[in-house]
Chains A and B, each alone.
Chain A
């Protein structure tokens, strides 16, 4: 379309020239028919079971408040669930949401990526947001590509930064295991991104009010779900800890796990770990930090005997301060720590336990 050679052409307006002499007779300005009418931001509000009810996932709260700052346009939110979602309305509106779409279909109370995607696609077609954001959680990372694919739009996964330039969104994400940071643009509306937890500050809880709309979606296809089991939660979540004592492959003595637990108790923190300890069966899966585990944002992360493979680093790179204890002076973790101690992790742990 922009291959117009210019000069004598006066038959079409598609080259975007604003020179009135070059417009067809009678035409005063160039109308860009491909200009999208998309505007605003849509956020999928993910809920987590919390006792008898549900609560909003932290990453969704972060995104809701970030959406307000990213856009001059409206901020839309969509949430799935039944009556248990209603008590969440004030906190959702408190983050600055203008319109909340509540999908209240019995068949969609259990998460199913296919139907959730079709439902959100139907909503996107109606409200035409310029940007669609979701948390880069296990479900978000499965749902977002399904939606992007049905809409034929671009998707940037696992972003660690977002900034806006008008309606345009510039998304930042690490590649090659965090060795490179790339700024990425989406070439089509809606621009889609999944965003890692901790990218934006968690907003203070405020109560607000706004318009809640029940969104009808009748074309539920369903899925043949045999059973859904809630995993046993230890009660405490490493994502809430301010101090994490994290253990890695360099911990060779199982007794050190108890030492670490004791240190964590004394400093008011929790013990987390890298994948190898979960595989050895020394720690539960819920304590694992990293790509196949959880993303944590503590104020202080102390890595004992962790080599710092990419898969682990993505889970802790946003920590406030990182201290690494590793006897290998060439371990990659040292590049990502504020303070590195080249020492045996076990010795230091035992000594800390004694001293505290």
Chain B
């Protein structure tokens, strides 16, 4: 069987900070493999049987190769890096279109297309389902567990209020719902053999898309303005040495509310 796993390289938002003017400090923030994707990949690697192949792919700048290298170290077999200046600035639609074109050209026969729930920098989690619609296949979101049997896969999906168990036909899109807070451990043999595996670069022309189908030009949404967050509140910081006094503060707030 063949699994195709889509991943993304993201800045580590946990490490991101805001300076005194409220602007985002991005310098020196390390780029990591999106933890949700890492989790999805680890699940797939856990299911892999003899003779199965795990292909990973990502769209991003040339340095996104690092994220793919990490996937190979985890045990993926092959990696594709979709990189082209024209891909820059893509919104959900343009990203999905690019990934779909890639899938049709390079991994049209995968048994499952696997995604993480969302990327920690964009937080939208929309790409898997746009890809599913463009491929014309079924989609399985918030998957908690996936098992394979002779006649295909079975997924358990967690919708919060209900838990749904479905049969997953071959070629479907699966998006895992969770993330492993402790990261994943990989075997030393996979780690060592990663050096011999290659990352293949793919550009716009090789997936057969026009200039106006990808990136910023191919996007259906446009950012008209940005401002740094107004989410910060007028903060009053108090250092508390006496817990009774601290509790008093909160209780007076509670009473003020009534």
Contact = CB atoms under 8 A, between A and B. Distances in A.
A343 B139 contact: no
Interface stretch (A29-37, A95-103, A144-152, A207-215): A144-152
A267 B258 CA distance: 10
A325 interface: yes
B165 A226 contact: yes
Contacts of A300: 253-254, 257
B29 to A, nearest CB: 10
Contacts of B243: 343-344, 347-348, 350-351
Contacts of A155: 92-93, 126, 130, 220-221
A321 interface: yes
A149 B129 contact: yes
Given A343-B246, A351-B243, A150 B133 contact: yes
Nearest to B152: A224
Contacts of A139: 159
B224 A322 contact: no
B160 A325 contact: no
Interface in A269-311: 275-276, 279, 285-286, 291-292, 294, 299-300, 302, 309-311
Contacts of B93: 148-149, 152-155
A355 B248 CA distance: 8
B178 A292 contact: yes
B141 A341 contact: no
A351 B181 contact: no
B164 A228 contact: yes
A15 B161 CA distance: 53
A: contact size bracket: 35 or more
Contact of B224 (A143, A158, A183): A183
A226 to B, nearest CB: 4
Contacts of B177: 292
A352 interface: yes
B139 A355 contact: no
Given A142-B141, A310-B14, A347-B243, A267 B254 contact: yes
Contacts of B247: 348, 351-352, 354-355
Given A149-B96, A154-B220, A180-B228, A138 B160 contact: yes
Report which residue of B14, B163, B224, B254 has the largest number of chain A beta carbons within 10 angstroms of its beta carbon: B254
A276 B241 CA distance: 27
Contact of A149 (B124, B133, B237): B133
Nearest to B234: A338
A131 B245 CA distance: 52
B123 A339 contact: no
Interface string B130-157: 1111100011011000000000001000
Contacts of B132: 146, 149
Contacts of A267: 254
Nearest to B91: A154
Nearest to B179: A292
Contacts of B223: 182-184
Nearest to B130: A149
Given A339-B238, A341-B238, A341-B246, A180 B130 contact: no
B152 to A, nearest CB: 9
Given A148-B130, A187-B222, A337 B233 contact: yes
Interface stretch (A61-69, A73-81, A169-177): A169-177
Contacts of B161: 48-49, 230-231, 233
Nearest to A191: B221
A177 B231 CA distance: 10
Contacts of B246: 325, 341, 343, 347-348, 351
Interface string A4-27: 000000000000000000000000
Contacts of A329: 237, 239
B124 A146 contact: no
B185 to A, nearest CB: 17
A81 to B, nearest CB: 15
Contact of B92 (A145, A292, A335): A145
Interface string A233-258: 10000000011000000000000000
B227 A338 contact: no
B123 A158 contact: yes
B104 interface: no
A336 interface: yes
A182 B133 contact: no
Contact of A348 (B96, B159, B221, B250): B250
B21 to A, nearest CB: 12
Please name the 3 residue pairs, one residue from A and one from B, whose CB atoms are nearest each other, closest first: A154-B220, A343-B240, A149-B133
Given A223-B166, A352-B247, 10 more contacts: A149-B93, A177-B120, A179-B24, A181-B230, A187-B220, A231-B163, A285-B160, A310-B123, A348-B240, A348-B243
12 contacts: A145-B92, A152-B220, A175-B121, A180-B229, A181-B226, A187-B221, A228-B165, A286-B160, A335-B235, A343-B246, A348-B246, A352-B250
Interface of B: 11, 13-14, 16-18, 24, 91-93, 96, 117-118, 120-134, 138-139, 141-142, 154, 159-167, 169, 177-179, 181, 219-241, 243-244, 246-251, 253-254, 257
Interface of A: 48-49, 111, 113-114, 117, 138-139, 141-150, 152-158, 170, 174-188, 223-231, 233, 242-243, 267, 275-276, 279, 285-286, 291-292, 294, 299-300, 302, 309-311, 313-314, 317, 321-323, 325, 329, 332, 334-344, 347-348, 350-352, 354-356
